A and B are shown apart, each in its own frame.
Chain A
Amino acid sequence: MASETVEIGVGSPPAPATSARRPARLSLGRRRPVVALTAGGSLRGALAPVGLVTLIVLALPLLATHSATAVTAAGPFHTPSWSYPFGTDDVGRDVFSRVLFGMRESWLSALGVIAVGATFGAVVGALAGAFGGWLDMVLMRVTDLFLALPAPVIAIAVVASVGPSLFHTLLALSVVWWPWYARIVRGEVRAHAARPHADAARLAGVGRARLVLRHLLPGALAPVVVTMSLDVGNLILALAALSFIGLGAPPPSPELGAMSAQGMEYLLAYWWVPIAPAAAAALLALVANLLGDRANRHLDQERTR
């Protein structure tokens, strides 16, 4: 559909651009779009548990009995006991403490990739949805291109060219993670652009930037938040997998995937070395998925109420 209105009228005065450019600050019912959505408690209600879990995960290392990298007095392959709940590994480091640090790192890494992916994707999607035409075509074909790239291959390529580090792995994941968000945001923006409230805004003579930012983009917030919350679990597993095949921070940093991989050879003799970090990764993914489901249901209820 034509996204600009036809200029008609014999005597309608042109808008004084100076006063129209600055979006009016509101003195009545003053609410920014994000706040307006939370006003009903919908977003806050959906995200509060995620925030709570994040706080808990951040505080996990406080429970650590030892340093994540230091060798303990117990020596290697100490069986689980009260002072070493998950035993010690081949070098004699406390597995329990390493797992706690690893959980924090996994969780924060997942949130970081999602934040970067969602932000970049939202910008691309909003541009494509708002302008349409050739820009939409170009941006969406680029999006398709990135969707076609396999994450492990990109990660291997990045690590091979710039060296192994957690940051490089996250970078590689972010590169393949944003296209989903671009698609969602573009779809929502275009759907809202066809609704009467967008027509009403055009009739008010609002500029295109304001139309997109105030009248179209906030509509994408709820679906994006739902996707984000469901993505946390996926990313924790994806990160663990990449780290398992050696594409993460180099040892001795406590990464769940890498710890599991290094402990594999002791699986039969000293099972706690590989199983404890693997179980921790599974637990995190499970918690993340439950939170995502909850957020999804919550926002769905709010919308269909």
Chain B
Amino acid sequence: MTVEAAGVSTVATTPALAVRGLHVTFPSPRGDVHALRGATLDVQPGEIMGLVGESGSGKSVLGLAALGLLPKPEQLRMSGSVTLDGEDMLSATEQQRRARRGSYITAIFQDPMASLNPSMRIGAQLAEAAPEADQEQIVALLADTGIPEPRAKVGCYPHELSGGLRQRVMIAIALARNPRLVVADEPTTALDVTIQARVLELLARCTAEHGSSLLLITHDLGVAAQLCDRISVAYAGRIVEVGPTARVLSRPRHPYTVGLLASRPRLHGRVAHGKLPVLPGQPPDPRSPAGGCAFAPRCPVADDACARPTPVSLIDGRRCECHHAGACAAWPENGSSQTHADALLRAVQGDIASAQHNAARPPAQTVPVLALEVRELVCEFAAPRRRIRGRPGAPLRAVGGVSLAVPAGGSLAIVGESGSGKTTLLRMIVGLQRPTSGRVLLGAGAGAQLIFQDAGASLTPWMSIGAQIEERLARLALGRAERATRVLEALHAVGLPSEAAGALPRSLSGGMRQRAAIARAIAVPPTLLACDEPVSALDVSLASQVLNLLCELRAKLGLALLFVTHDLAAARAVADEVVVMSGGLVVERGPAERLFAAPQHPYTQELLAAVPDIARAA
């Protein structure tokens, strides 16, 4: 079952990092978690290697293993080897590992606020990382990362810097001793897209200047495509494909890579309108790994052979673990997309019937009016007083006079970076935040519902999914049996099984929780379905499923969609019309296709340019 280790490396030089057949298993009372199941990977000196995978693929565990930061050996089982400069990190003593960290291998983590010491000045933390450097060299290190006024920033505490600057400090610390390898685990995931672009560029430039290799761990193929010399793809604890970036992206050999590339919403080409190709199903449970190919249940070219351990194919510098490497040239357009049509139609008919029963509203599709009209909406927050008896400062204007309209059954996306006021605007529209001035007019029907970014937190933890959906039906004067049926219809409409009704939120996976939250919101189909970053917390393969689901529900139930996101490609995949917000104001609006093809406002142009795009790399 383990991969043949010999002859994997195709380059003659000693790799900066060589991982061979690495197994890492965390024992747990509910079944051992197989985080890595024979991962094999090389990072050559001076190269930028991207490690792409979804959550649970084991990519972060691999990074920690390279750093020698995994928990003590008593708490997990390991086999295989992680060789750093000729020395095995797995068998090394803690002292040996500590000696390697800092001088030979360093790390940059996702949350710079958590990895910087909040009680130490920036300069002191840099001095700790580079003990021999004097004050001038420390300032120079900071200046190298493009931090403005580095001399003044040396005396700052981490909380005084913005997220982008903190991550630059982390980069300065990581590169202070010219390490041979930097492990960057999701270094830009917490940053806005324009800042992300600058930090990535900096990361590439600095590692090149210091002659370091970079292992860039990310869930975002786009980020990897923009930066990396080679890309490796992790799935269910194994590295299923490794190769030069351009070739992996243009002609992927593993079906998972093909599906991952296909299911990404794009900024160019045909607008998906709810027909994004999807990877069906869910990533496998790391507690019960498959004997053969772990991807087989979701793979369009799988056959009986896939139940056997996967062979490794090495063709022109590329490594692929698949029985049918290269057999899946293009992901089937809709072949394996999940269909909810039957359940959905029944739910719709039920709604129309109940609507006629109540004689309250005609079917939403035929109403030629607006689902939402927002007029000059303003939201101001009182500024904190500087002194106890001082006068309050000028109020903070989160939203400064926004007007927009969504036709019944239409879809509008609001895009912007953090602090643009898009979420405050959404909360005012659904009625969770009182506007300072302006009006929100909702069309006739069942009002507005909101899908939250964190689906898990938006479900009451101690109520079953069924009970939470049923709560929404209280106004419909239905009998108990009717309500039960409606709950099941709502669940089926979002592709959840009937058993989900009795489940508590914590027993569902992230993707299923977001579906449950959607089911709850559409149990009584609202006039307007507002979504606050509904897919940003989901993995790529699940995000495209949810985007398609939202589009399908919009078409079938005649909902209007209001979609707030920082992800321009996701906005393009679902919206007819797009509004770009910055600093609480609308800076540009227009039909999705026009706006993304020919942005007029400089801010929109900057946003679009910052989005890492695969097409450019491939």
Q: Assess whether B467 is in contact with A200, with CB atoms less than 8 Å apart.
A: no
Q: Assess whether B472 is in contact with A29, with CB atoms less than 8 Å apart.
A: no
In chain A, what residue has the closest Cβ to B360?
Answer: A13
Q: Is B444 an interface residue (CB 8 A)?
A: yes
Q: Is A66 an interface residue (CB 8 A)?
A: no
Given contacts A10-B444, A12-B446, A26-B467, contact A196 B431 (CB under 8 A): no
Q: Assess whether B504 is in contact with A196, with CB atoms less than 8 Å apart.
A: no
Q: Assess whether A6 is in contact with B434, with CB atoms less than 8 Å apart.
A: yes
Within 8 A of A (CB), among B442-496: 442-450, 452, 454, 457-467, 470-477, 480-481, 483-484, 487-488
Chain B, 549-567, contact with A by CB distance < 8 Å: what is the 0/1 string?
0000000000000000000
Q: Is B131 an interface residue (CB 8 A)?
A: no
Q: Is A280 an interface residue (CB 8 A)?
A: no
Within 8 A of A (CB), among B482-516: 483-484, 487-488, 501-504
Q: Assess whether A195 is in contact with B457, with CB atoms less than 8 Å apart.
A: yes
Q: Is B323 an interface residue (CB 8 A)?
A: no
Q: How large is the interface on A (under 10, 10 to 19, 20 to 34, 35 or more residues)?
A: 35 or more
Give A40 to B30 CA distance when docked, in angstroms: 13
Chain A, 14-37, contact with B by CB distance < 8 Å: what is the 0/1 string?
011001100111111111010011
Q: Assess whether A27 is in contact with B480, with CB atoms less than 8 Å apart.
A: yes
Q: Is A219 an interface residue (CB 8 A)?
A: yes
Report B-chain residues with C-beta under 8 Å of the C-beta of A7: 431
Q: Is A63 an interface residue (CB 8 A)?
A: no
Report B-chain residues with C-beta under 8 Å of the C-beta of A26: 464, 466-467, 470
Q: Is B430 an interface residue (CB 8 A)?
A: yes
Q: Is B425 an interface residue (CB 8 A)?
A: no
Q: Is A2 an interface residue (CB 8 A)?
A: yes
In chain B, what residue has the closest Cβ to A17?
Answer: B475
Give A39 to B460 CA distance when docked, in angstroms: 15
Chain A interface, DSSP helix/strand/loop, else mixed: loop
Q: Is A249 an interface residue (CB 8 A)?
A: no
Report B-chain residues with C-beta under 8 Å of the C-beta of A200: 450, 452, 458-460, 517, 520
Q: Assess whether B504 is in contact with A39, with CB atoms less than 8 Å apart.
A: yes
Contact of B471 among A5, A199, A206 (CB under 8 A): A206
Q: Is B440 an interface residue (CB 8 A)?
A: yes
Q: Assess whether A19 is in contact with B474, with CB atoms less than 8 Å apart.
A: yes
In chain B, what residue has the closest Cβ to A19?
Answer: B477
In chain A, what residue has the closest Cβ to B487?
Answer: A28
Contact of A203 among B432, B435, B464 (CB under 8 A): B432
Q: Assess whether A27 is in contact with B483, with CB atoms less than 8 Å apart.
A: yes
Q: Assess whether A25 is in contact with B480, with CB atoms less than 8 Å apart.
A: yes
Give A24 to B463 CA distance when docked, in angstroms: 13
Report B-chain residues with C-beta under 8 Å of the C-beta of A31: 463-464, 467
B451 shortest CB reach to chain A, Å: 9
Q: Assess whether A11 is in contact with B445, with CB atoms less than 8 Å apart.
A: yes
Report A-chain residues with C-beta under 8 Å of the C-beta of B476: 19
Interface residues of B (CB under 8 A from A): 360, 430-435, 440-450, 452, 454, 457-467, 470-477, 480-481, 483-484, 487-488, 501-504, 517, 520
Could you show 17 A-B contacts with beta carbons less than 8 Å apart? A8-B442, A9-B447, A15-B475, A19-B474, A24-B471, A27-B484, A29-B467, A29-B501, A29-B502, A36-B462, A196-B457, A197-B461, A201-B460, A202-B432, A203-B431, A203-B432, A204-B520
- Other A-B pairs, 20, CB within 8 Å; known A27-B480, A27-B483, A199-B458: A2-B433, A6-B431, A8-B441, A10-B442, A10-B443, A11-B442, A12-B447, A19-B475, A24-B473, A28-B467, A29-B503, A39-B504, A197-B460, A200-B460, A201-B460, A204-B471, A204-B472, A214-B463, A214-B471, A219-B462
